[in-house]
Chains A and B, each alone.
Chain A
Amino acid sequence: MKKFLVGIAVASAVALALTGCSGSGSTAGGSAKVITVGFAQTGSESGWRAANTQSMKDAFSTENGFKLIFNAADNKPENQIAAVHSFINQGVDAIVIAAVVTTGWDDVLKEAKDANIPVILEDRTIDADPSLYASWIGDDFKQEGVTAGAWAAKTLGTTATSMVVLEGTTGSAPAIDRATGFGSAIKGTQIKTLDSQTGNFTRADGKTVMEGFLQKYGKSINLLFAQNDDMGLGALDAIKSAGLTPGKDIQIVAIDGTKDGLTALSQGDFNYVVECNPLLGEQVATVVKDVIAGKKVDKAYTAKDGAFDKDQATAALPTRKY
C-alpha cells in the first residue's frame, strides 16, 4: 500500500514537472504570438456559471491566438489559490480570476506581480490593493436592481401595489446589491413591500417560499420581484396552483435573462427580465490583449446588461445561448 502511494506521488510529481515544462516551453519557444492565459474559475455551480465558462473558452480559443489553461476550483478558495500558484510556476502570460471569496488574495497576487504576470479579475471583485490587478470586468448587480426597480416604478408606481420579494442567498453580493438597487428605484412610489424572504437562488426554494406568501397574503399580492430567474420560475408553479394567473394577477420582474426566463417572458408569465450577462469572454479577451500589448486599460469595466419585455424576449430567444 505504502509503495503504491509512493508510486502515485512520484507519478504525479513527474506529471507536474512535465506540464510545467510544456507550459513554459510554449511561451519561451514563442510560436509567434500565442498568449498563454490561466483562468481560475469558481466552479460549476449554476447554469449561469456554465455559460460564463463556455464564453471564456470560446473567446480564448486557439483561433483567437490564445492558449487557455482552465481550472475550476469547485468553489473552494484554497483550490483557487493553488491554481493561481501553478499558473505562476508555469509562466503564463496573463491570469484571469473569478474569485470564490473576496479576501486572502494579497500574497499570491504579489507573487504574480513579482513574476510580471498581469492579473485580470472577471465577474467577482476582491478586497486587495488595486495595484495588484490590472482590471476588473463584470456585471453591475446594483444597476440590475435599479433597472428592474425602474420598470416596476414606471409600470405600477402610480397605483397602490403590494410587492413580495424572493431574495437570493442571504449575504451574497448579488442579493444585497440587487435589493439596494431595486429599493432605491422604487423609493417614493406607491409600491409597498409586503414581505421579503430568501429563496436561495433556487427553483425549489422559490416555489416553497412563494407558496407561503400566497397562503399568507392571498390575492393581495400584485407584484413579485425575483432576484433571479430560477426563483421566479419556481414561483410560477406556486402562483398557478393558487388559481392565479402569473403575469396578470401577479406581475413578475426577474433578473438574469436565462433562456428559461426569457421563454417564460415571451409566454407572458413574466413581465420584465433584466439581463445579467455571463458572456464576458470577448470583453475579457480584449482587455487581456490590451494589457499584454502595454496599452492603458480602465480599472473596471461593467458588462452591458440589457433588459427585456415580452416582444424583445420573443425576438432574442432563438439566438439565446444560455
Chain B
Amino acid sequence: MRKLLKHRILWPIGALLALVLLNAVSRPSFLSITVRDGELYGSLIDILRNSAPLMLVALGMTLVIATRGIDLSVGAQMAISGAVALTIISDSKTPGSLGTVAVAILAGVAITFIFGLWNGFLVSVVGIQPIIATLVLMLAGRGIALLITGGFITTITSAPYAQMSQGYLIGFPFAFFVSLGAILVISLVVRRTALGVLTESVGINPEASRLAGVRSRGIVWSVYGVSGLLAGVAGILYSSNIMAADANNAGINIELDAILAVVLGGTSLAGGKFTLAGTVVGVFIIQTLTSTITFLGVPPAVTPVFKALVVIVVCLAQSRRVREWLSRIRPTRTPTTTTTTPVVERIPA
C-alpha cells in the first residue's frame, strides 16, 4: 500500500478523478452517457474524442523529452499535414473516394515525418540545441501551411475524411481508436524491446551511453521523426474534426499543452526516465479541464488563471519536496527513504 502511494502516477490520476468529481457534483449530467443511433454520446465521450490530437502529440513529446530534447514545432506540423491533406482532397475530382482520402492522409503524414527527421538531423547530427532546432520549424511551419492553402481556409466535403475524427466504430469515436492504437504501438515498441531503456539511457547521460555502445545519434534522430509523424496524424484529426485546413489556428499552442501533459504525467523535463501512462493521464487532465471551464461556466477573462491554478496544484502535489514538507506537518512516522526516480519540480509558464 505504501509503495502504491509513492507511485508517481497516483497523483495525476488523483487530480483527474478530482476534476471529474468536481464536474459531476456541479452538474450530474456530466457523467451521463446515452446511446444515440448506436453511438455513445456524452461529455466523457467528447473528452475521449477531442483529446486524440493532443494525445498523439504528447506521446511523441514524451519520447523527445526522454532524450533531453523538446519539440516546439508540433503545432506547426499539424497545420502543415492538414493543409497538405485538404489541398489534395479539394483539388481532386473525387473528394469522396477512399483512395483519394488515403493518398491525402499518407501525403500529409509523410511530409511531417520528413520535417520531423529534419528536426532530428539538426539536433543529432548538426548538434543544434533542440529548442533552437525545432523553433525554426515552429516559426516557419505556419508560413508553409499558409503557402499551401494560399492564405485561405480550405474546406472540403468528403465522407471518408470526416470519419477520421467525427465517425464512430463499435459505438466509440473513431479518433479514440487512433489514439488508443498509438498508445499501444508505442508502449509495445518501447517497453517490449530495449528501445525504451536505451532512450532513457541517452537522456540520462548521452556521452556515457555512447561509450557503452548505445547508438545515441540514431535514437535521438528517430524520436524527432516519430514526433513529426504523430503530429502529422494529429493534424489530420484536427482538420477532419472541422473539415477545414485552418493554417493559422490548427494546433496553435499545442506544443505547450503537450509539454504540460508530459510534465503533469510525471516525466522530468531533464530527460531520462519517462512514463507513457503518466502522459496519457496528463492529456486527459488537460482535456477534462477544458470541459470543466464550460461546465462550471468560468468567465473567459479568468480562464487562464483557473487553468494555471489547477496546474500549479497538480505540480505541487507531485513534488517530492512539497510532499515531504506536508508529511512533516502531519504527525506521521519518520519519512521513509526516497526512491530513485527523478521528480518534477518545475512548473512551465
Q: With A203-B242, A204-B238 in contact, is A170–B248 under 8 Å at CB?
A: no
Partner of B294, one of A44, A45, A50, A212: A212
- Would A207 and B295 count as touching, CB distance under 8 A? no
CB of A47 closer than 8 Å to a CB of B: yes
How many residues of chain B are within 8 Å of chain A by beta carbon?
34
CB distance from A238 to the nearest CB of B (A): 9
Q: Tell whether A208 is near chain B: CB-to-CB under 8 Å.
A: yes
> In the complex the two chains form, is A215's CB within 8 Å of B295's CB?
yes
- Complex: how many Å from CA A167 to CA B301? 11
Q: Does the CB pair B248–A45 fall under 8 Å?
A: yes
Interface residues of B in 221-265 (CB under 8 A from A): 238, 241-244, 246, 248-250
Number of A-B residue pairs with CB-CB distance less than 8 Å in the complex they form: 85
**B244 pairs with A215, CB closer than 8 A:** no
- In this assembly, does A216 line the interface, its C-beta being within 8 Å of a C-beta of chain B? yes
A266: interface (CB < 8 Å): no
Contacts of A209 in B (CB 8 A): 294
Cβ–Cβ contact B241 & A216, under 8 A:
no
Q: Is A181 an interface residue (CB 8 A)?
A: no
Given A170-B301, A204-B249, A212-B295, residue A50 in contact with residue B242 (CB < 8 A): no
CB-based contact A216/B27 at 8 Å:
yes
- Within the complex, the shortest CB–CB distance from B158 to chain A, in Å, comes to 14
CB B182 to nearest CB in A, in angstroms, measures 20
Which listed residue (B36, B150, B166, B241) contacts A204, Cβ 8 A? B241
Interface size of A by CB at 8 A reads 35
Which residue of the partner chain, among B43, B153, B238, B241, contacts A230 with CB atoms under 8 Å? Answer: B153
Dominant SS among interface residues on chain A: helix
A44 touches B41 (CB 8 A): no
Known contacts: A47-B152, A197-B293, A200-B249. The answer to whether A242 contacts B50 by CB under 8 A is no
Taken residue by residue from 28 to 46, chain B's Cβ proximity to chain A (1 for < 8 Å, 0 otherwise) reads as 0110000010000111001
Find chain B residues with CB under 8 A from A44 CB: 146, 151, 248
B151 CB → nearest A CB, Å: 4
Residues of chain A contacted by B30 (CB below 8 angstroms): 215
Given A213-B294, A216-B295, A241-B41; A167-B244 close (CB under 8 Å): no
Tell me if A311 is interfacial: C-beta within 8 Å of chain B: no
A174-227 interface with B by 8 A CB criterion:
195-198, 200, 202-204, 207-209, 211-213, 215-216, 218
Taking Cβ atoms with an 8 Å cutoff, the residues of A that contact B are 44-47, 49-50, 53, 167, 170-171, 195-198, 200, 202-204, 207-209, 211-213, 215-216, 218, 230, 233-234, 237, 241-243, 260
